[in-house]
């Protein structure tokens, strides 16, 4: 089934630990995104990639890094987790043709708790 796979589904992590959230899509979409979703706030863009080999910073990039070695994979790394990074993380992809009809397909989300 075409779509986006995220892993892990949920994780509890000690502060200071390094964590990588994985995201893989099989739709050959050019653009990929990482969002965090917190109660009472809209989705906030962390990092994005318009095409393989390129990445960009979103609204809340501090403490996170990404890489885009190929079209399918877009991992998000927390180098040293802090409690404020407790959130639900969504990976998304789109055709990335920069048209207004740039519909996002989301993964199921990764719930991260940092203690």
Partner 1 sequence: GQNIDQPTEMTATEGAIVQINCTYQTSGFNGLFWYQQHAGEAPTFLSYNVLDGLEEKGRFSSFLSRSKGYSYLLLKELQMKDSASYLCAAMDSNYQLIWGAGTKLIIKP
Please give the structure tokens belonging to residue 17: 């630990």
Q: x/- binding map, residues 78-97, to partner 1, per CB under 8 A?
A: ------------x-------
Long-range CB contacts for residues 64-68, cutoff 8 Å, separation at least 24? 64/34, 66/34, 68/32
* 18-26, 39-47, 68-76, 77-85 -> range binding partner 1 (CB under 8 A): 39-47
Smallest separation, CB 49 to partner 1 (Å): 14
Binding segment toward partner 1, per CB under 8 A, in 21-29, 34-42, 63-71, 77-85: 34-42
Indicate whether 30 belongs to the interface with partner 1 (CB under 8 A): no
Report residue 86 as tokens.
Answer: 């407790």
* Distance linking the first and last C-alpha atoms of the chain: 35
């Amino acid at each position: 089934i075409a779509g986006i796979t995220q892993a892990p589904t949920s994780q509890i992590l000690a502060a200071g630990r390094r964590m990588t959230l994985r995201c893989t899509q099989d739709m050959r979409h050019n653009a990929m995104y990482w969002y965090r979703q917190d109660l009472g706030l809209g989705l906030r863009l962390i990092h994005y990639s318009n095409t393989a080999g390129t990445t960009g910073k979103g609204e809340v990039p501090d403490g996170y890094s990404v890489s885009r070695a190929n079209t399918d994979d877009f991992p998000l790394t927390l180098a040293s987790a802090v409690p404020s990074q407790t959130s639900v993380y969504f990976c998304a992809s789109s055709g990335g043709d920069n048209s207004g009809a740039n519909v996002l397909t989301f993964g199921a989300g990764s719930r991260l708790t940092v203690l």
